[in-house]
Structure 1
Amino acid sequence: MTVPANPSAADLDALRLEVAGLVVEALNLDLAPAAIPADDPLFGEGLGLDSIDILEVALVVSKRFGFQLRADNEDNVNIFRSLRSLTEYIAAHRTK
């Protein structure tokens, strides 16, 4: 799926579901991608991911969308805050 330069809400919803699917697949989570709330935290109380999980997610996102998420990026806390924030970052930076 290709998201246009100025994605609509529907485009972002479709991308968010695709990203959720990548997260579920990469981490072998026992839940449906659609069950991941868009605004719940990915770390801690929300989805409960840890730093190793985030590295795995970053790897599959990088491969799928053609750009690199770096461990030393100062903005990682904001990028991985929620599924919505990760999706919006991907929509803005993807090359494929």
Structure 2
Amino acid sequence: MIMPGSAVPTSTEAELAQLIVETLNLDQTAGEIDPEMPLYGEGLGLDSIDMLEISLVISQRFGVKLRADDEDNAKIFRSLRSLNAYIQAHREP
């Protein structure tokens, strides 16, 4: 949940949060996802299957390929903000 003083999501982070909520049928709203909250494990509580589902949807929606064997996955999936930054840097025009 976003708490007072937390980071405010950008419009692309809000779009990504909504995509994650819809893809995984989460019980929370996109607006409740703090862009700095960890996605995996603690924080949002996603697991490796969730990450695979998110990766597939990101590939379809943004044209960005996320590989399971990428050594940077821990950094890429650290938070909504880091995932969004990766997508924006690698998306097809």
Superposition TM-score tier, normalisation by shorter sequence: 0.7 to 0.9
5+ residue gaps, structure 2, are: 1-8
The residue identity in structure 2 corresponding to 1:83 is: L
The match for 2:42 among 35, 41, 45 is 45
1:67 counterpart residue number: 64
1:35 counterpart residue number: 32
Measure, in 2, the Cα distance between the counterparts of 1:59 and 1:21. 15
1:93 counterpart residue number: 90
Measure, in 1, the Cα distance between the counterparts of 2:59 and 2:44. 20
Q: How many residues align?
A: 85
Q: What's the Cα RMSD here?
A: 1.1
Instruction: Tell me whether 1:16 sits opposite 2:13 in the alignment.
Output: yes
5+ residue gaps, structure 1, are: 1-11
Q: CA deviation at 1:51?
A: 0.4
Seq. identity, %: 59
Instruction: Tell me whether 1:84 sits opposite 2:73 in the alignment.
Output: no
Q: CA deviation at 1:24?
A: 0.4
Higher relative contact order (CA 8 A, sep 6+): 1
TM-score calculated relative to the size of structure 1: 0.84
Structure 1 stretches of 4+ moved >2 Å: none
Measure, in 2, the Cα distance between the counterparts of 1:65 and 1:44. 25
